[in-house]
A and B are shown apart, each in its own frame.
Chain A
Amino acid sequence: MPRMAQNPVNLDAVETVRVDCDILIIGGGNAGCFSAVEAAKIDPSLKVVIMEKAQIMRSGACSAGMDAINTYIPEGKTPEDLVRWCRSQVGGGPLREDLALSNARELNEAVDDLERWGLPILRDDKGNIRYRGAWDISIHGEQLKPIMAEKAIEAGAQVYNRVACTQLLMHEGRCVGALGFGVRDGKFYVFNAKATINATGGAAGLYKSYTADATDSHHQIWMCPYCVGTGYAVGIRQGAEMTSMEQRWVATRTKDFCGPVDTISVGYKAPIINAKGERIMRERYAHLGADKAPRYIRANAPMEEWLAGRGPTYCDTRDMDPELASQMMTDYLNERPSFVLFLASRGQDPTKEPIEIYGSDPYIVGGHTQSGFWVDLDRMTTVPGLFAAGETAGGNPNKFVGGCAAEGKIALRGAVQYIQNLELPDPDPAQIEAEKARVFAPLLRGQDFDGVAALEMEERLQRLMDEYAGGTSQFYRTNEERLDYALKHLDVLKDQTRFLKARDLHDLMSVHEVIDRLDVAEVLCHHLKFRKETRWQGWQTRADYPDTDPAYDCHVESRRNLETGEIETFTRPYEQIVPGDRYKP
């Protein structure tokens, strides 16, 4: 891969590269790598291409590593039990139990694959897997990303690194690949495919992180900041149906660092306490399961303490013996190594001083909560030929590593079915030229153009979302009027994208990232506006409708009307498939 190319002098100077394939995978992360491996298993003659914005060996959400697989079904438990737990974690649903069940039936095999490929899974003296909770197993996953990437390459997938996706390639209403540009080589890429699997990361950076003010670090956030929601945005632009976008992922995170801490608090039995030393979950949330309360309750609880004047809040690590504390630090080194540096830079020993916690900025991550594309059981979206897996596929929360991997395999099998006897049409030159002009315009406006930088628009968007669409500074609360204000200004921002300018190819990537974020933010606000109740405090809190309303016990859906450009919202009913009390694990 060459170093960053010079800016093109004009559009004609931009080289177009065309790649034809059977299956295109957008995003070489967890789900994408598993799709590629599955393709080689089913039919080694399939031509599979991975379009990757970074470099597949260390890209995206898994780049720093991973310390746990949050869902692995132990002996004696069933996939149905896991779905019951998933359902209870989202307050009894609504969720897509059909999707959740099919992932649950396959995820153990995907995790076993990872172990066979060299991932260390921690076991006790007898060789039994060590659980850190009911479903959560510990790994030494520092090498998780290279391990899965090597396997995808070995499977024969052709990887195009440093190519950012900007649009889907369409033919008579179906998806026949994707378009994008090389962030290092400055070429325009046309990937023409019989089927496309959208396996990008979720959307981070829609909201302002509270540490962004007056620090040298604007990406002090939990989710990978380079996952900006492109996967959702390209589908939204083609009128794909989106589901549950209002169910944002907000989690308890270490204060000032945004390191993962909620599974640590459960797994290491370090309870959440407030400034008065009260065990918050036991004192105030016993009826919801105390320390094992659903994730959104655990995420929201520390913030409620701050609001009530009982902050700061902590994970009380003081009872940990030194060996356990060392194990916890090793977990962090596997997943968020700089957290260990953060503690060292505070001179802090967690066995003597508890770890301060706070709420994170909100994310749209369909692998964690359930925002994303509405898909059928084969994981095909409502755009024919476009499949979704992992963070982009909606309706199916708590997938995490194992579930996203399983879903990558399921989507690939769906795609293989779909392409049987399918002819690949020649791409439409008008569409390609139009997209090429749109993509490179910010770079060709010239350095003297009186315009707007990606960073300026990104910060405007993040502040808007934080203050009006329920960010951290507002303790996740929003109301009808604030959402109207956010939508009004999102309209202005979308109109102002014609003023965006880029200095170089890296900057051009940032420009398209902010455009993608705007499309996701707009849909998110419409979803938040539609749900006139509070179903998942913290994840979705309506200050003007503080209670749950049975009328909204359904999926909230949206779709861009391709004729008017408007986002239309509607509902789909919830179907309980797995028997049992919806609210109990």
Chain B
Amino acid sequence: MPPIVDPKKCNGCEGREESFCEEACPGDLMYVGADGKSHCHAARDCWDCMSCVKMCPRGAIETKMPYQLGYHKATLRPIMGKDSITWKCTDIHGKTVMYRYRNRLERKG
């Protein structure tokens, strides 16, 4: 299930030794190419855990369903807060649902 990188939004995390998506991918699938943009070098090996999507500071990555499993085109986007996450999901009929919840509590230890 390929993560799709929008080259207009991606800057390869310029100035960082490693882009955030490269760092996050548990499968070592992301890399920054000679064009300075992030790419996935084995889209079929993606687990769609969405770690790269969550980590991207520019919202440049989208997880897509392979067409053989799901129709064109639904979207799911996470917006990361300091201690919360908001998900925006739009289905193939254009219906949008938002989910927001705390993903961190104040640390006590």
Residues of A whose CB lies within 8 Å of any CB of B are: 1-4, 53-55, 57-60, 63-64, 113, 115-120, 140-143, 147, 162, 183-184, 211, 214-221, 224-226, 256-257, 326, 329-330, 333-334, 337-338, 340-348, 506, 509
Contacts and interface: CB of A to CB of B under 8 A. Distances in A.
7 contacts: A4-B31, A63-B47, A64-B47, A140-B103, A211-B69, A215-B66, A345-B73
Given A183-B28, A338-B63, A118 B104 contact: yes
Nearest to A139: B103
Contact of A117 (B27, B97, B109): B109
Interface of B: 1-2, 17-18, 22-28, 31-32, 41-51, 55, 63, 65-76, 78, 85, 87, 89-93, 97, 99, 101-109
Contacts of A217: 1, 44, 46, 48, 66, 69
A115 B105 CA distance: 8
Given A63-B51, A215-B66, A344 B90 contact: yes
5 A-B pairs with least C-beta separation: A345-B70, A116-B109, A344-B74, A64-B49, A344-B91
A338 B75 CA distance: 10
Given A54-B25, A120-B103, A338-B48, A216 B63 contact: no
B109 A113 contact: yes
A256 B69 contact: yes
Nearest to B2: A216
B25 to A, nearest CB: 7
Contact of A118 (B1, B28, B76, B106): B106
Contacts of A119: 105
Given A219-B45, A338-B65, A341-B65, A57 B92 contact: no
Contacts of B51: 58, 63-64
Contacts of A184: 28
Nearest to B87: A333
Among B23, B70, B85, chain A packs the most CB atoms within 10 A around the CB of B70
B107 A341 contact: no
Contacts of B71: 345-347
B76 A224 contact: no
Contacts of A226: 26-28, 47
B101 A330 contact: yes
Contact of B85 (A4, A57, A142): A142
B32 A3 contact: yes
Please report whether the interface of chain B is mostly helix, strand, loop or mixed according to DSSP: loop
A347 B108 CA distance: 42
A67 B27 CA distance: 22
A220 B46 CA distance: 8
B6 to A, nearest CB: 17
Among B22, B42, B49, B99, chain A packs the most CB atoms within 10 A around the CB of B49
Given A64-B49, A142-B103, A3 B22 contact: yes
Contacts of A211: 68-69
Contacts of A347: 71, 74, 91-93
A225 B89 contact: no
A345 B68 contact: no
Contacts of B22: 3
Contacts of B108: 116
B65 to A, nearest CB: 4
A219 B63 contact: no
Contact of A338 (B27, B50, B99, B109): B50
B70 A219 contact: no
A341 B75 contact: yes
Given A117-B107, A140-B102, A216-B1, A342 B47 contact: no
Contacts of B101: 120, 140, 330
Contacts of B65: 338, 341-342, 345
Nearest to A221: B47
Contact of B28 (A54, A63, A116, A348): A54
Nearest to A60: B26
Given A2-B17, A4-B31, A58-B26, A340 B76 contact: yes
A143 B84 CA distance: 10
Contacts of A346: 70-71, 92
A199 B32 CA distance: 31
Contacts of A214: 68
B2 to A, nearest CB: 6
B2 A55 contact: no
A214 B43 CA distance: 14
Contacts of A342: 65, 69-70
A216 B105 CA distance: 38
B27 A225 contact: yes
B27 to A, nearest CB: 5
Contacts of B90: 344
Given A1-B23, A54-B26, A211-B69, A345 B107 contact: no
A21 to B, nearest CB: 24
Given A3-B31, A218-B45, A225-B45, A337 B87 contact: yes
Nearest to B24: A58
Among B17, B48, B93, chain A packs the most CB atoms within 10 A around the CB of B48
Contacts of B91: 343-345, 347-348
A341 B63 contact: yes
A26 to B, nearest CB: 16
Given A54-B25, A342-B69, 18 more contacts: A2-B18, A3-B18, A58-B23, A58-B25, A63-B51, A64-B47, A64-B51, A119-B105, A217-B69, A220-B1, A220-B48, A224-B26, A225-B47, A257-B69, A338-B48, A340-B76, A506-B42, A509-B28
